[in-house]
Amino acid sequence: MSPATLASSAPVALTLTQHILAVLSGLAVGFSLGLIGGGGSILAVPLLLYFVGYPNPHVVIGTTALAVSINAYLNLIPHARAGNVRWKQALVFAVVGAAAAFVGSSLGKAVDGKKLLFLFAILMLVIAALMLRRREPGSAQQVLSEHDAPKGSWLRLGIAAALVGMLSGFFGIGGGFLIVPGLAFSTGMPMLAAIGSSLLSVGTFGLTTAINYARSGLLDFTVALLYIGGGVAGGWFGTRVATHLGKHSKGTLNLIFALLVAVVAVYMLWRNLSAFGLHV
């Protein structure tokens, strides 16, 4: 990235109103992470750009990556206490995926952002369709356990982590929308366990991307702290809702996840049509 680009993308001073809006945006991001284990970066980036009015997209990506990372780690705590985290699978996914995320984020900074978002929105629609069709495992034998998972399952888990990590870093997002189905499809774990376990990877992928952007001066720590503060409260409430829904309605989380992915994808497609010379 050239010095001129870095200068135009440097952090800027925000008004008091924008600071308040940043806290409210953090609430929405934290609630999404706590409820479905994803949506953090997908919500955080447009909120900071269009709701708060932050003018520099590169700083927005780096800043929201850090904020979503910390919020994901914080939201991991109540999920862990509720028993919603499969630690071995979560750790493997996070470590393998983080290495891939660093490579992906390095490549992503060299590609036009609008085209990346447009293509990613199409991928999100595919994920939404898959989540609507997915069935919960029918028995305990179909669910990968903490201690005696088949070797093939660990291989699938590692492959999924590498692919998801690369895409997460490449598109500059935390990757929850990809991590949750990646965990669910590669291990067979229930949706609630995939959501809880995904937060470790969301945090690790986001932190990896944030460090990569910070190395180029593309991170606003003040705004990140505001997002994190709002995200603590939103995440606590979202986690409580997710746990309640997981116990009383197995299909509800799948439906919420798929519908939210589809809505955000359509919005992203509309916002980025100009990348391919198309206009509404």
By residue range, what is the domain housing residue 33? 16-276
Residue 66 domain-assigned? Answer: yes
> What type of residue sits at position 180?
V
Using DSSP, how many helices (H) and how many strands (E) does the chain show? Answer: 11, 0
pLDDT above 90 (res 72): no
Beta-carbon contacts of residue 172 (< 8 Å; ≥ 6 apart): 41, 45, 61, 65, 105, 108, 113, 116, 209, 213
Residue 200 CA to residue 128 CA, distance in Å, equals: 22
Residue 9 lies in a domain: no
Is 10 a domain residue? no
Q: If we measure between CA atoms, which residue out of 251, 206, 229, 255 comes closest to residue 42?
A: 206
**Which of left, alpha, beta for 65 (phi over 0: left; psi -120 to 50: alpha)?**
alpha
- Residue 79: closest CA among 34, 27, 146, 136: 34
Asked if residue 3 belongs to a domain, the reply is no
pLDDT tens readout for residues 182-204: 888 888 888 888 888 999 998 99
Asked, for residue 272, whether it belongs to a domain, the answer is: yes
Number of structural domains, the chain?
Answer: 1
User: Residue 197 has which token pair?
Assistant: 């376990």
Whose CA is closest to 137, among 192, 81, 175? 192
Report yes or no on 5 lying in a domain: no
Residue 8 lies in a domain: no
Task: Inform me whether the pLDDT recorded for 30 exceeds 70.
Answer: yes
pLDDT per residue over 105-153, tens digit each? 888 777 776 776 687 778 778 877 876 775 544 333 344 444 445 445 7
Predicted confidence at residue 167, as pLDDT, reads 85
Residue 11 belongs to a domain = no
